[in-house]
Chains A and B, each alone.
Chain A
Amino acid sequence: MLGGVWLGLLLLFSQPVWADAAGQAPRISRDAQVLYCSLNWPTDVARLRQMLRDGIALVVRWDLSVARARRYWLNERIGDVEVVRRVVPDMLSHRWLLEDRGSGIVRSVSSLAEAVRFLTRLQHYPVVDRSLLQSGQTYVLDVSLQMYEGEAMDNWWNRWLRKTAFATQVVFKEP
């Protein structure tokens, strides 16, 4: 019990902040109704793999925000999406439990590479309904990522104090 408290305090106060250089820009794709985003987090994959092998659960939080670009004023926020993914290692069965907090889907995989991809890659992820976008208008897609060990810190102070590990953006024009 005390060990858990200690570990919790440790994780609370010693939450490392992952900061990587701005990587590649997100790729935008569309269908008739939805705007999608694909993006890789260019991080130290070997480190992630080692942590997962050591049984440390990892959580990544992607924040995707679409705003209408305005030249002489602040951008107008159109919508934002939060993607929280967690990988929990099961060291006894050599499997990885992949949790998507947004959809509630939980999968168990035996491939560590898949678990790492689950954390570091957004593939064709729906961001915003295109009915909210205007044709010919310029928009900015901001993407930021935070990473936590153990559990995602959803407390208000943690949200306030959290430090972005990765951020990028892309400016696109709605056809």
Chain B
Amino acid sequence: MRLDVMRFLPLIMALALIGLAALLWPAAQGGLIMAWINVGILLVLALLLLQYGVRLLRRRGEPPPGSRLRAKLVIAMVGMLMVPSLLIQLSASQMVERGMDVWFDLRVDTLLERALKLAQGFYDRIDADMKRGLRDYVTDPTLIAAVGAAAPFGMANVRLLEILNKEGWDRIQLFDINERMVADVRRDGLIDVHPVPLSDAARLVMQLGTVSTEIMTEDGAEKAVGYAPILGHKGGVGLMRVELHLPQGVIRSARLVEADYQSYRALEHNRHMIKDLFANAMLFVTLVLVMLASLLALWFARRLTSPIGELAAALHRVTDGDLNVAIPESSQDELGSLARSFNQMAERLRQNAAAIDKAQRDLTHALANSRQRQYILETLLANLHTGVLLIDARGAIRLLNQSLHEILPETVDWRPGMAFRAHCTGALAFLGEFHDGMRGRDEAALQRQFDLAGRHVLVRGARLELSGMAEFSGELIMVDDITELVSAQRHQAWAEVAQRLAHEIKNPLTPIRLSAERLQRRFRDQVEARDVFDSCTHAIVTQVARLQRLIADFSSLARLPRPKIERVRVADIMRDMRELFNAYAGVRVVQPAEALECHCDADQVRQVLINLLDNALAATGGKGPVTLEVREHGPWVEWHVLDDGPGVPEEIRQQVFEAYFSTKASGSGLGLAIARRIAEDHGGELVLLSPHRPTHFCFRLPRTPRQVEE
């Protein structure tokens, strides 16, 4: 089984995305929001792919037409975007790495450090100078006196102005121990003695007795503020606060240096985070681009593959046999041309299919008719009593029926396809000669009658010719067994002759006999040779009587009536026979069961039995033994007559039932013929089972009238 990788591709991609998400999973500490966003996007993409992959795996059967092509297009387009994106990301990461190295180069670090030191040096110098100056006036007597209210206000101001000018400060304030400002001198000369609260730093200086400075910002400008205690003999007695406005240009530069340094340090501190941020930002952009590209690719692929999908679906329907399909021919490009071609093809297919369908219906109809005709022909041939033999133009047997085998048992091995002429040998040579005769003549039909060892067959032939079609050319030979017909014709002819002969002979026999008897009565006493006279007249009377019997038998054979079938008890017939032949001690009549019945003409049956018993007695010289018995044999009732006479010679066995055949000098030769005629008229038969020792005749009749009728 071929593994369909495409079905697993979404799952593989989902697993790859999950693996990538695990790889990019932010650290528990110091994680970036961007990293979480990227991981979230990756997981969402993985989830979507996972869902799509599972749905793809659960789907049975063929995917929708065009979906594979669409998936391949999307994968190709996204892949084409992803590869350069990943390369760009790798390159950018390398560039960032290098840029970081350049950015945080040791020289930059040293440079910034030195710049900061320089700026700090300026402040330190201000601080040091201010502290040094302040220390010079901690024990200044004028100032001590001023804070102690021992000196006049003007003196203190003068002293402060001297200090101001000497130290280059911009303002000096003097506070007593109670934090009351006692003097305030500014460079601009204005004197302001409004009470100003001391700052915490100033109070701390007063408490600790040390010199302190601080930088203060006011109205965007910076100033250095210094505090110095005024120390008397008993400790701190006041506080001097001085201000020095820092030059704005220098301060701005120094603050810029500080800001740059701080920014630099902040960036350096977050150096790894910057790299991660950049990588994550790039990854975010890449993911967004990939998503947008995927959507765009999906839209484009759907737009591109939609006609292909429709075409594939239409082809599926055509494959399934549905030709009533048409796809929209919306676009004018190659796909539109393809759609138009497909629609034309489908239309032609529809027309061809309709034509094929019609032809198929016609063929089916014709085949049905042909089968019907074949069935009728086969049934006809099977039930036809005429043997039928069809020989094709190549001389091979094409067709033959069962009746042919029954009429000509020698053909029992013949089968269709066999060479006809090669098998016409022996007793069947006449068929070959007949076939040759047909082929050698111009007539389309030929008929001949053949006598075959006691049978008579009528062979008729017809030539089948259909120009251009060898399958339907050949000869049709029909064979009929006309033995019975010939026999019947012969019998009919003899019957007519017998009737006419009997009629012509019978009429003068009676006057002849009466005349002979009259001569005997009237002239017997008048003749001298009375013996001769008696002998002659007796011979005339006797012969006339024999002739009359002969004429009567002729009449009987010719005018044998149809049997009057009725239900007869066989025991009654046998009882009559026993009484009739009671005078013959050698005749033994076996009485059957009283219930045995038979449908027959009782008089004709008696006639047959009498004839058989007469023949048997004649054969045994009237002594017997002769046996008459009845047997039930299936649907038959059989009368068996047996005697131990000399029997029937084998050479005349077939002739004993023919009319006018007799071995007795005084016999008419019609007894057994009439008996057999009666048997056949009853639907039975009379046969010679054994020609001698014992001579055994069997007279067999059907028990039921239905069989008699058959």
Contacts and interface: CB of A to CB of B under 8 A. Distances in A.
A113 interface: no
Contacts of B33: 13, 15, 161
Given A3-B263, A54-B266, A91 B120 contact: yes
A126 interface: no
A16 B120 contact: no
Interface centre among B29, B34, B122 (most CB of A within 10 A): B29
A56 B265 contact: yes
A7 interface: yes
Given A7-B267, A54-B262, A95-B214, A14 B28 contact: no
B301 interface: no
A10 B274 contact: yes
A108 B202 CA distance: 13
B276 interface: yes
Interface of chain A, main secondary structure: loop
B262 A56 contact: yes
Contacts of B255: 92
Contacts of B262: 54-57, 89, 91
Contacts of A90: 215, 258
Given A92-B123, A92-B254, A14 B270 contact: yes
B28 A19 contact: yes
B619 interface: no
Contacts of A92: 119-120, 122-123, 215, 254-255, 258
Contacts of B201: 108
B277 A13 contact: yes
A54 B260 CA distance: 11
Interface string B224-268: 000000000000000000000000000000110010011101111
A170 interface: no
A18 B28 CA distance: 10
A93 B123 contact: yes
Contact of B269 (A17, A51, A93, A94): A51
Interface residues of A, number: 29
B18 interface: no
Contact of B277 (A14, A19, A54, A150): A14
B31 interface: yes
A10 B261 CA distance: 16
Given A13-B277, A90-B215, A93-B214, A18 B29 contact: yes
Interface residues of B, number: 34
B152 interface: no
Contact of B273 (A16, A107, A150): A16
B293 interface: no
B276 A14 contact: yes
A149 interface: yes
Interface string A11-43: 101111111000000000000000000000000
A56 B258 contact: no
B262 to A, nearest CB: 4
Nearest to B30: A16
Contacts of B28: 19
A124 B190 CA distance: 46
Contacts of B323: none
B608 to A, nearest CB: 126
Nearest to B121: A92
Interface string A86-102: 00011111110000000
B32 interface: yes
B78 interface: no
A94 B123 CA distance: 9
A13 B266 contact: no
Contacts of A149: 266, 269-270
A114 to B, nearest CB: 13
Contacts of B261: 55, 91
B269 A56 contact: yes
B17 interface: no
B273 A14 contact: yes
Contact of B214 (A7, A15, A108): A108
Given A19-B29, A55-B262, A95 B215 contact: yes
B634 to A, nearest CB: 107
Given A14-B276, A92-B119, A150 B31 contact: no
A25 to B, nearest CB: 22
A55 B265 contact: yes
Given A7-B267, A93-B214, A161-B33, A14 B258 contact: no
Interface string A132-153: 0000000000000000011000
B21 interface: no
Contacts of B119: 92
Interface in A137-175: 149-150, 161, 163
Interface in B302-359: none
Nearest to A157: B33
8 contacts: A7-B266, A14-B270, A15-B33, A18-B29, A19-B29, A92-B123, A92-B215, A150-B266
Given A55-B261, A93-B215, 5 more contacts: A3-B263, A14-B32, A90-B258, A93-B123, A108-B214
Interface of A: 3, 7, 10-11, 13-19, 51, 54-57, 89-95, 107-108, 149-150, 161, 163
Cβ-closest 7 pairs across A and B: A55-B262, A54-B265, A14-B273, A93-B215, A16-B30, A92-B123, A14-B277
